[in-house]
Amino acid sequence: MFDTLPGFREFPPDACAQRNHLFRVFRTVARAFDFQEYDVPILEPLDLYLEKSGEEIANQLFHFEDKGGRKVALRPELTPTLARMIAARANSLPKPVKWFNIGEHFRYERPQKGRGRSFYQFNADLIGEPGIDADAELIALLCTILETFGLSSTDVVIRLSDRATWVLLLDHLGISEDARPATLDAIDKSERRKPEQTIESLESANPDQGKNLFEKIQEIKGLKNLDDIVARLQACGSAGMERAEQWKGLVSRLSAHGCESMIRVDLSIVRGLAYYTGFVYEAFEATGQGRALAGGGRYDHLIKKLSGNCDLPAAGFAIGDMTLSDCLESKNLLPRYVTVPDLFLVFGESERDLALRLCSRLRKSGHSATYSLKPAGFGKLFKEAGKSGARYAIILGEEEAKLAEVKVKDLRNGSEENCQITRLVERIEHWDGEGGISSQS
């Protein structure tokens, strides 16, 4: 037999219903924030990611050559595609652009808890607004989605950091612009590595400074409150003072949005993707265990890099379905959906055609209706109707057919009522409104 490929999942109906629950919450909250849904291709030119996503993602690509000799890749993330799409329509789009997408992504990673090779992301991005209000709006959206799933600040935290602050602090430490990307990369990976490995990476980017720099970086990573960060920035001259004001402004906006309790100021977040330029954040379980539930930030230069001329500020984030489902499951916050029909038609073989016509009418009027595909006696059909979970059995025997009627049985309380076939849809609506067929009728 053929198994699924490692890191790929199948979704039988119960798993699919749970996945749809996530998607429903994403869509409902995104609409409440006035974000619009969009969609893009799953297969893209390989270069889009080699150039724009950074080394970590480039190493995880599923890529191949198509029959036309093009080098293509399954999308590992959405941001470069979105940036290209916006750049191509920049003049005609009213700003700010507030868009969201729900879709499948692919990364060749080692499959483990919370990490697959195929996973879904909810992406939300806000383009055309450079100020902290856009960052605050996005973080508030993330926070509201987590709350709508039933998570609170005792369950999850959003760790808020800033790449611009890191750049200022590294400049202040005398790190050259050339050494900056490799230094930021070493800081990003330092959470998951042994100190010696981080020192080695820092040393190779900044010869003779590895150990000393490691200690200074550890100290900066330890700054976990706004006042300490502001004090540090104020020592970095006017650019530092300006950034300190933006920090204060963002934290105050987040408090006005009502999401202060979920936010932890934490400079140890740097984000692995190469394009981030400003405030960045990741959501984690409050215990600190497990991989990130979501991540994002500001990426002001990506659209310009892709288009050459269109300079639009941008920010956004993505939530992954795997870590989120694990988190909700562990807290008993994943509802079990049972999908059952509303109606089960019970009929004799001579009434099959009439019953099918009725069934078709019921379905077109919006009811989920089903029946036995095989001929069977009434006893067996009633058993099947009970097992199906349907609310009502619609019974059409010879007698009923002669009178152009059906007998309707409420399968929850056993009450029955006869009804003209032509009035059935209307009667079902009436019973639904009354909470079922009453035993007096």
**Residues engaged in binding ligand HAM (CB under 6 A):** 77-79, 107, 109, 115-116, 119, 121, 123, 125, 273, 292-296, 299, 316-318, 320, 322-323
Helix (H) or strand (E) segment spanning residue 197: helix 195-205
Please report how close the Cβ of residue 383 comes to ligand HAM at its closest, in angstroms: 43
Please report how close the Cβ of residue 275 comes to ligand HAM at its closest, in angstroms: 8
Q: Which single residue brings its beta carbon nearest to ligand HAM?
A: 320
Residue 371 CA to residue 352 CA, distance in Å, equals 10
Closer by beta carbon to ligand HAM, 115 or else 301: 115
Q: How far is CA 198 from the centre of its chain?
A: 32
Q: Are 316 and 126 in contact (CB under 8 A)?
A: yes
Please report how close the Cβ of residue 40 comes to ligand HAM at its closest, in angstroms: 13
Nearest CA to 275 out of 144, 125, 148, 159 is that of 125
Please report how close the Cβ of residue 122 comes to ligand HAM at its closest, in angstroms: 9
Joined together, the tokens standing for residue 197 give 């490995």
Closer by beta carbon to ligand HAM, 122 or else 392: 122
Closer by beta carbon to ligand HAM, 115 or else 180: 115
Closer by beta carbon to ligand HAM, 266 or else 342: 266
Closer by beta carbon to ligand HAM, 108 or else 382: 108
Residue burial 59-87, b: 16+ Cβ < 10 Å; e: rest: ebbebeeeeeeeebbbbbbbbbbbbbbbb
The structure tokens 């059952």 sit at 340
Residue 151 CA to residue 284 CA, distance in Å, equals 11
Angle between helices 321-330 and 13-32 (to 10 degrees): 100
Closer by beta carbon to ligand HAM, 290 or else 436: 290
Residue 145 CA to residue 80 CA, distance in Å, equals 24
CA distances from 177 to 24, 85, 206 (A): 44, 30, 11
Please report how close the Cβ of residue 123 comes to ligand HAM at its closest, in angstroms: 5
How many other β-carbons are positioned within 10 Å of the β-carbon of residue 154?
11
Please report how close the Cβ of residue 417 comes to ligand HAM at its closest, in angstroms: 52
Please report how close the Cβ of residue 12 comes to ligand HAM at its closest, in angstroms: 20
Closer by beta carbon to ligand HAM, 158 or else 213: 158
How many other β-carbons are positioned within 10 Å of the β-carbon of residue 234?
13
Residue 436 CA to residue 438 CA, distance in Å, equals 6
Closer by beta carbon to ligand HAM, 279 or else 317: 317
Residues forming beta bridges with residue 28, ordered by sequence position: none
Closer by beta carbon to ligand HAM, 233 or else 327: 327
Residue 130 CA to residue 392 CA, distance in Å, equals 57
Please report how close the Cβ of residue 329 comes to ligand HAM at its closest, in angstroms: 15
Please report how close the Cβ of residue 24 comes to ligand HAM at its closest, in angstroms: 18
How many other β-carbons are positioned within 10 Å of the β-carbon of residue 331?
16
Closer by beta carbon to ligand HAM, 57 or else 202: 57
Please report how close the Cβ of residue 116 comes to ligand HAM at its closest, in angstroms: 5
Q: How far is CA 163 from the centre of its chain?
A: 24
Residues forming beta bridges with residue 316, ordered by sequence position: 125, 297
> Strands across the sheet with 71-74, in order?
43-45, 71-74, 63-65
